[in-house]
Structure 1
Amino acid sequence: MTQSPCIQICQIDPDQDLCVGCFRTLAEIAAWGAMSDAARDAVMAQLPERERRYDQP
């Protein structure tokens, strides 16, 4: 089972639609519990690039 990338810093950047802690979108966070492991793995694979590209205010 894929673990959550949540690091307990739950703040959504509304301009970029990302959590600044885990870099998931609100939709991904909301759906996380119902996602298959493959879907979670796909999201997890995108997080490093999202973090790298994140433009902090």
Structure 2
Amino acid sequence: MKVRDKVRSPCVSVCALDANDICIGCQRSGDEILRWSTMTEDERREVLKNVAEREKQFQI
């Protein structure tokens, strides 16, 4: 796999979970954060889709 094909973590080093277990920095759930390092690239892409949806919900 080429480096450019790897899905990078959305972490922005602002790590705090809200009341819904969603990180206020990267919008991943606690479970998604814990499992990130063992996920396949396809699973990571799915998480990023979920992150994008969460970001849309909280835009002002």
Instruction: With the length of structure 2 as denominator, give the TM-score of the two structures.
Output: 0.82
Aligned with 2:24 (options 11, 20, 23) = 20
Identity %: 36
- Relative to its length, the structure with more strand (as a share) is 1
Paired AA for residue 23 in structure 1: Q
Number of aligned residue pairs: 54
For the aligned residues, what is the CA RMSD? 1.4
Runs of 4+ in 1 over 2 A off after TM superposition: none
* Match status 1:43 vs 2:47: yes
Instruction: With the length of structure 1 as denominator, give the TM-score of the two structures.
Output: 0.86
Uncovered stretches (5+) of structure 1, i.e. residues with no partner: none
| Bigger Cα Rg | 2
Uncovered stretches (5+) of structure 2, i.e. residues with no partner: 1-5
Q: Distance in 1 between matches of 2:56 and 2:25?
A: 13
